[in-house]
Amino acid sequence: MSREICPTCQRPLRMCYCSALVHIPSCIKVLIIQHPQEQKHPFNTGRMAHLCLDNSELVVAESLSEASLRRLLRPRSALLYPSLSWLPPVQSVEPDSPESAALEQLVVIDATWRKSKKMLHLQPLLQQLPRVSFSGELESKYQVRKSSMENSLSTIESIALAMQALQPNGDFGRLLRPFEKMVSLQLTGMQR
């Protein structure tokens, strides 16, 4: 007999975090491009962010045609991604800058680091976008999943941090409520 799954969060009913979902408006649209394998992952924080952000779109694809990607991108878009040495140098979007004030869309790749690098490699158009990235020590609360890259955050943590910096009048910290509930439920379930 199969377990009952919540149709919204796609988690088993006893691990459903939907009671903690919030609805957050934003001026900046968040476009989440999710790797197909991430879509089925039980700790899918890209979907969670999409469920909370009123102005967001979730597209599941490892690679998009250039025409499809151009249709998805708004004229003033930026990519949320670290400035890694193999990426072409592009303009950084700093909080409280004219670029951040004019930003229409934040593009986010939701995948493991290895898969996100491959997705970015397959999408030269994304590589050319201005970039939003963080510096300094970052501490993830993602205790149920490990990253292959030090000093990294989950997709939802990254989006919350970026959106709060880009739209300081918003309350994007609330975006972490379902994330915290999911982690708590999972840790409690593991202790049984």
Average pLDDT value for the chain: 88
Task: Name the pTM for this structure.
Answer: 0.90
168 Cβ neighbours under 8 A, 6+ residues apart = 95, 96
The per-residue pLDDT for range 72-112, each reduced to its tens digit, is: 999 999 999 987 777 888 888 888 788 888 899 999 999 98
Residue type, 95: P
pLDDT at site 140: 64
Residue type, 63: S
pLDDT at site 101: 85
- 164 pLDDT band, cuts 50/70/90, is very high
The per-residue pLDDT for range 21-59, each reduced to its tens digit, is: 999 999 999 999 999 999 888 888 999 999 999 999 999
Task: Name the nearest CA neighbour of 13 among 185, 187, 137.
Answer: 185
pLDDT for residue 127 is more than 80? yes
Q: What angle do CA 94, 95, 97 make, to 5 degrees?
A: 75
